[in-house]
Amino acid sequence: MSTAAGETGGSPMKLYHTGNIEIPAPDIRHGRVNADFGQGFYLTPDEDFTWRWARKDAVVNTYELDLAGLVVHRFERDAAWFDYIFKNRRARDTLDADVVIGPIANDTIFDTFGIISSGWLKPEDALSLLMIGPEYTQVAVKTDKAAAQLKWTGARIVTGVREQREALAEEMARYDARFAEQVRRITGE
């Protein structure tokens, strides 16, 4: 995990956001307060990911984000990342950053946090479950300062949904098998 103020150098990050409309001026206060990295406008640098998860007639918006002068916090897929997401799921954002970058938690995170809260699963076991599957990156633009440095570069309507959905289904089947195997290891079954 790292926090850096005023990152410089390099070209702007190319980012994607999939929705149902063009979004040339994103609203950082529109999203959920209890999202992975708290309230903000969420994007990904993973073009493949954004297309895989798109639905028919979705719009993939493209942006460039200049990180110069921003406080950027980067997470790895580790205990600090898990703890930050766990707090945000309870609407307790503990970071003072313009931008937060890190792995997307897999789709079982709500179930995993519920199991931890019930006492059935230890936090280290929960983290082992969240480590399964592909690692895609999310970027949360959390402040007006960062939003002012996010430049919309265009949008495209999603096509080829069937092929993308098939690839996603294959990825999810592999994930489900690995997840079940890890649960068996944890429970000793």
Write out pLDDT tens, residues 96-123.
999 999 998 765 555 555 555 566 677 7
The region of weakest confidence among 76-80, 130-134, 177-181 is 130-134
- Domains: count for the chain: 1
Q: Is the pLDDT of residue 176 over 70?
A: yes
For residues 41 and 45, give the distance between their C-alpha atoms in angstroms, rounded to a whole number. 13
Supply the DSSP symbol for 172: H
* pLDDT tens digit sequence for 14-32: 999 998 899 999 999 988 8
Domain with 107, as residue range(s), is 2-187
The closest of 13, 65, 54 to 164, measured between CA atoms, is 54
Does residue 134 contact residue 168 with C-beta atoms inside 8 Å?
no
For residues 25 and 31, give the distance between their C-alpha atoms in angstroms, rounded to a whole number. 14
For residues 65 and 93, give the distance between their C-alpha atoms in angstroms, rounded to a whole number. 22
